[in-house]
Amino acid sequence: MRKLFTALVAALLLVAAPVTAASAAPRDDGRRSYTGTIDGADYRVEVPQGWNGTLLLYSHGYMPADFGFPQIFVTNAAESEQWLLEHGFALAASEYRNGGIGYLVEPAMRDQLALLDWFEAEVGRPERTVATGQSLGTTIATLLAERNPRRFDGVLTMCGVYDPLNTFNTALDINFTVRTLLAPGQDIDLVPADDPVASREALVAAVGQARTTPQGQARLALAAAFGNVTGWYKSLEPAPADLTGWIQQQTEWITWAKIWGNGPTAFADIERVAGGNPLGNAGVDYARQLQRSDQRETVLRAYRKAGLNLHADLAALAAAPRIVPQRDAVRYLLRYGVATGRTPAPVLSLHTTGDGGAPPDQERWYAEQVHNPADLRQLWVNRGGHCSFSAAEEITALQALLTKLDTGRWPDLRPSRLDAAAGRFDPLYQRVLDLGSMESAVMAPAFTRYHPPVTLRPSR
């Protein structure tokens, strides 16, 4: 009865959501560009003159409080938008309420459905709708399709996070390791934190100091290992071949993705949304976690080089006071953040092998949850960085999904075939953006075969 009441209230709120008048900017090519606000969430919709009947509903990823939106994105690669519109696809995306900032999975799902309702009423009912998303937007896109099977025909995920509870718990492990081994004695709160910004800055400073010595580098490698964080941060360069270079790029991931992005300030945001702290490390055996990590050999080499006692550091982690999550908050994140594996619509994912922001182990975990493996295909690009796909790679993945929707069968997804398909695009669509430097360069398609490691803190 309670579930029915909740569903009815949610439906009434959606119907009653205030909508500002959409502004449609006229264009010489006949394309219609709409912007507006639904229930406090800004949106953007692009409809080409010769719309082919397919709508791509895009969900963006997690944005920390210090991040500002230059615009509402409707695809992952900027160049993809041009190609998709030129080839008849309609594109839509909600920024979500609160300017898109923070952990917004629950409201984002409502905002995206409200935008889909608006599109169907004001533009027309799509012949098929594909939920797309990147990073934490993968969670949103996947849950939208799982919970609204009649409204979505397919799902395309990029650099995906399917289990945010896992993602933030491994970030907690990394922050916990940095605090314990690299800032001993400092008053740094993780969860809950009286001053999350101060905690974040103290951890960043500790990492910055540690990376200058072999001993600090070894401990940073250990922290990275607890999240399967690779040493391939720079998407426009090959993976570092030497130990020091590998750890230095692991350090970039730790600094920017695991502390600045997903550290104390993110933990505080999640606490606010979940009504308490859902994160913890009570009962975690870090020695066992290291044994299971795909970065174990890097840690062993680094500790030998530094002349450090690994067992002593693991003992220090074992003795440090632990963090206990709050049960109701955990339940919230399980409901609004963890995919179940139901695949009422075919799902195709695209992931780089060197992603340390959303490590590839998320894909392995999701594949193990999927009820119908025939409806899932996972594509890999041999490149570092987070969400560092060219438009050609993104569009090639979409075309593969559309083939499945059209024929009921997946096309030939061998890397050589995918590279050939992506390679036929103009160099304009071969540019890859490096999020760390915000520089881009033309790069050849790099599809590959890859078997991701096991994830270390699955929520189930």
Q: What pLDDT sits at residue 25?
A: 61
- Give the residue from 300, 332, 364 where a domain finishes: 332
pLDDT digits (tens, 9 = 90+) for 437-451: 999 999 999 999 999
Total domains in the fold of the chain: 2
Q: Tell me, yes or no, whether 175 and 290 share the same domain.
A: yes
* Cα separation, 280 vs 261, whole angstroms: 18
Q: What pLDDT sits at residue 78?
A: 87
Q: Which of 128, 130, 119, 73 is nearest to 100 (CA)?
A: 73
In this predicted structure, the answer to whether residue 184 has a pLDDT above a threshold of 90 is: yes
In this predicted structure, the answer to whether residue 151 has a pLDDT above a threshold of 90 is: yes
Q: Tell me, yes or no, whether 156 and 129 share the same domain.
A: yes
Q: Tell me, yes or no, whether 50 and 155 share the same domain.
A: yes
Burial class of residue 409 (count of CB atoms within 10 Å of its CB; 0-12, 13-18, 19+): exposed
Pairing of strands 41-47, 90-96: antiparallel
pLDDT digits (tens, 9 = 90+) for 275-326: 999 999 999 999 999 999 999 999 999 999 999 999 999 999 999 999 999 9
Helix (H, G, I), strand (E, B) or coil at 417: helix
* Cα separation, 5 vs 1, whole angstroms: 6
C-alpha atoms less than 13 angstroms from C-alpha of 160 in its C-beta half-sphere: 33
**What is the CB neighbour count within 10 angstroms for residue 327?**
10
- Give the residue from 283, 311, 332 where a domain finishes: 332
Q: Is residue 458 part of a domain?
A: no
Q: Between these two residues, 23 and 210, which has the higher pLDDT value?
A: 210
In this predicted structure, the answer to whether residue 13 has a pLDDT above a threshold of 50 is: no
Q: Tell me, yes or no, whether 298 and 173 share the same domain.
A: yes
pLDDT band at 2 (very low <50, low <70, confident <90, very high): very low
In this predicted structure, the answer to whether residue 10 has a pLDDT above a threshold of 50 is: no
- For residue 154, the enclosing domain spans 14-163+337-448
CA-angle at 420, arms to 414 and 422, nearest 5°:
100
pLDDT digits (tens, 9 = 90+) for 413-434: 999 999 999 999 999 999 999 9
Q: Tell me, yes or no, whether 354 and 438 share the same domain.
A: yes
Q: Which of 375, 305, 312, 386 is nearest to 350 (CA)?
A: 386
Q: Tell me, yes or no, whether 139 and 222 share the same domain.
A: no
CATH number where 83 lies? 3.40.50.1820
Q: Tell me, yes or no, whether 193 and 326 share the same domain.
A: yes
pLDDT digits (tens, 9 = 90+) for 324-376: 999 999 999 999 999 999 988 999 999 999 999 999 999 999 999 999 999 99
CA dihedral 267, 222, 220, 174 (to 10 degrees): 0
Q: What pLDDT sits at residue 22?
A: 63
In this predicted structure, the answer to whether residue 194 has a pLDDT above a threshold of 70 is: yes
Q: Is residue 454 part of a domain?
A: no
C-alpha atoms less than 13 angstroms from C-alpha of 125 in its C-beta half-sphere: 2
Q: Is residue 386 part of a domain?
A: yes
Residues 147-171 have a mean pLDDT of 97
How far is Cα of residue 8 from the mean position of the Cα atoms in its chain? 31
Q: What does pLDDT average to over the chain?
A: 93
Q: What pLDDT sits at residue 68?
A: 63
- Give the residue from 281, 301, 332 where a domain finishes: 332
Phi-psi region at 102: left, alpha or beta (left = phi > 0; alpha = psi -120 to 50): left
Q: Is residue 150 part of a domain?
A: yes
* Cα separation, 279 vs 300, whole angstroms: 28
Q: Tell me, yes or no, whether 141 and 61 share the same domain.
A: yes
131 — phi, psi (to 5°)? Answer: -85, 125
Q: Tell me which residue has tokens 């409901």.
A: 335
Q: Tell me, yes or no, whether 231 and 341 share the same domain.
A: no
Share of the chain above pLDDT 90, in %: 90
Q: Is residue 275 part of a domain?
A: yes
Q: Is residue 22 part of a domain?
A: yes
Residues 162-171 have a mean pLDDT of 97
Q: Is residue 460 part of a domain?
A: no
Q: Tell me, yes or no, whether 170 and 290 share the same domain.
A: yes
Q: What pLDDT sits at residue 24?
A: 65
Q: What pLDDT sits at residue 71?
A: 83
In this predicted structure, the answer to whether residue 3 has a pLDDT above a threshold of 90 is: no
**What is the CB neighbour count within 10 angstroms for residue 35?**
15
Q: Tell me, yes or no, whether 348 and 311 share the same domain.
A: no
Q: Tell me, yes or no, whether 200 and 328 share the same domain.
A: yes
Q: What pLDDT sits at residue 425?
A: 98
Helix (H) or strand (E) holding 415: helix 415-423
Task: Note whether 106 and 334 are within 8 A (CB).
Answer: no
Q: Is residue 372 part of a domain?
A: yes
Q: What pLDDT sits at residue 5?
A: 30
